[in-house]
Amino acid sequence: MDSFKFTPYLKSVIWGGDKIAALKHIDVSATDIGESWEISGVAGCETRVAEGPDSGLTLSELIARYRERLVGKKVWDAFGTSFPLLVKIIDARADLSVQVHPDDELAARRHGCAGKTEMWYILDTEPGARIYAGLSADLTPASYRKAVESNTIMDYIKAHDSKPGDTFFLPAGRVHAIGAGNLLLEIQQTSDITYRIYDYDRRDANGNPRELHTEQAVDAIDYRVFPEYKSAAIGIAPGVKSLAACKYFDVRLHNIVKPEAVGYADGSFVIVCCVSGKISVSTRQGNAVSVSCGESVLVPAERDMLIIDGSGEAVTAFVP
């Protein structure tokens, strides 16, 4: 079993742009692609194997076929055919709505699914681009409701100038929004539960205000104010930096200038995303897979080590 590439699931949205097609060198007629779901097991939005003998299988069908050989024993025991991570590339031509996601306990109680902790790695920005993450001033459930009603909620949310290479870790409960002019890689728990709390008074295609989830968000928001919300990359080996690490995922950035042997946690698959240049991914037992900028590959857990070669940067993610 070699590594797997998937056909991305492209989403057209009102705030999407044209950078994803250019990044991935794909020919599409749509000019409003806001999201490319690179590796997804979300029902209705699953990615399919792009090539090889398993071509056409959805991610869950692939897992059902190979079980722990593909995802790893600990992942299989915990999640079965449900893939625990979701990988996206997001292009924000306009500001996204201000959102918050529930944690596991609240999401399980309300929706019967996992919560959503995520991280963003900024790939490219336009002048003036911003990320909104965390609270900048004290807020309570009561003052939150008043701020939403008076359209002053943005006064309480921290704005950050963004640039390529920035990382933002967003645990469930942290209020956030992607500002216009950001192209980024998102790695998250597999969950599509979002509470929208502000949307700049935008209208849908029929002229109606987009739905807000003001009351649902009350119990989901983490009302604490922190001194810093931008994550610092931590060097852990020559050419390797830790971008985000939590119980759901461990994400690292690799600067590839020569072949790099990458060991990873026993019992988990590894996702490799090429974020600049062009690389190849191989294992000691398998064939090399070419990965261009904007592409991702899933390396089976049964491979005990992978080798990344070429020239560029790669982001890896696995379940710790």
222 within a domain of the structure (yes/no)? yes
The pLDDT assigned to 265 comes to: 66
What DSSP line would sit under 72-127, residue for residue? -HHHHHHHTTS-SEEEEEEEESSPPPEEE---HHHHHHHHSS----EEEEEEEE-T
Domain around 246: 234-318
Residues lower than pLDDT 70 in the chain: 265, 286
Q: Are residues 84 and 118 in the same domain?
A: yes
Q: pTM here?
A: 0.96
Same-domain status, 263 and 241: yes
Q: Looking at the annotation, which residues are catalytic?
A: 196
Same domain, 226 and 285: no
Residue 91 lies in a domain: yes
Residue 131 counted as domain residue:
yes
Residue 52 lies in a domain: yes
Cβ-based burial of 104 (10 A; exposed 0-12, middle 13-18, buried ≥19): middle
Q: Tell me, yes or no, whether 281 and 222 share the same domain.
A: no
Co-location of 181 and 224 in the same domain: yes
Q: Which amino acid is at 88?
A: K
- Do 217 and 239 lie in one domain? The reply is no
Same domain for 174 and 311? no
Do residues 29 and 158 share a domain? Answer: yes
pLDDT of residue 282: 92
Q: In terms of domains, do 110 and 247 share one?
A: no
CB-based contacts of 76: which residues, under 8 Å, 6+ apart? 63, 67, 68
Picking from 40, 34, 36, the residue whose alpha carbon sits closest to that of residue 85 is 40
pLDDT in tens, 9-58: 999 998 999 999 999 988 887 789 999 999 999 999 999 999 999 999 99
How is residue 79 written in tokens?
A: 């999640």
Q: Is 254 domain-assigned?
A: yes
Q: How many domains are contained in the chain?
A: 2
User: What CATH number is given to the structural domain containing 244?
Assistant: 2.60.120.10
Q: Is residue 158 part of a domain?
A: yes
Domain boundary among 198, 231, 264: 231
Task: Strand 85-92: give its sheet, edge to edge.
Answer: 9-17, 33-39, 85-92, 182-189, 118-125, 167-170, 230-231
Shortest CA distance to 167 belongs to which of 185, 179, 181, 154?
A: 185
Q: Could you tell me the sign of the dihedral formed by the alpha carbons of 188, 267, 246, 219, in that order?
A: positive
The closest alpha carbon to 189, from 66, 97, 95, 317, belongs to 317
Using the 3D structure, point to which of 231, 264, 288 is the last residue of a domain.
231
Do residues 17 and 159 share a domain? yes
Q: Which residue reads 């929706």 in tokens?
A: 111
Beta bridge pairs of residue 161: 130
Query: Do 140 and 245 have their domain in common?
Result: no
Domain presence at residue 1: no
Domain end marker among 231, 252, 267? 231
Tell me, yes or no, whether 43 lies in a domain.
yes
Q: Are 197 and 87 members of one domain?
A: yes
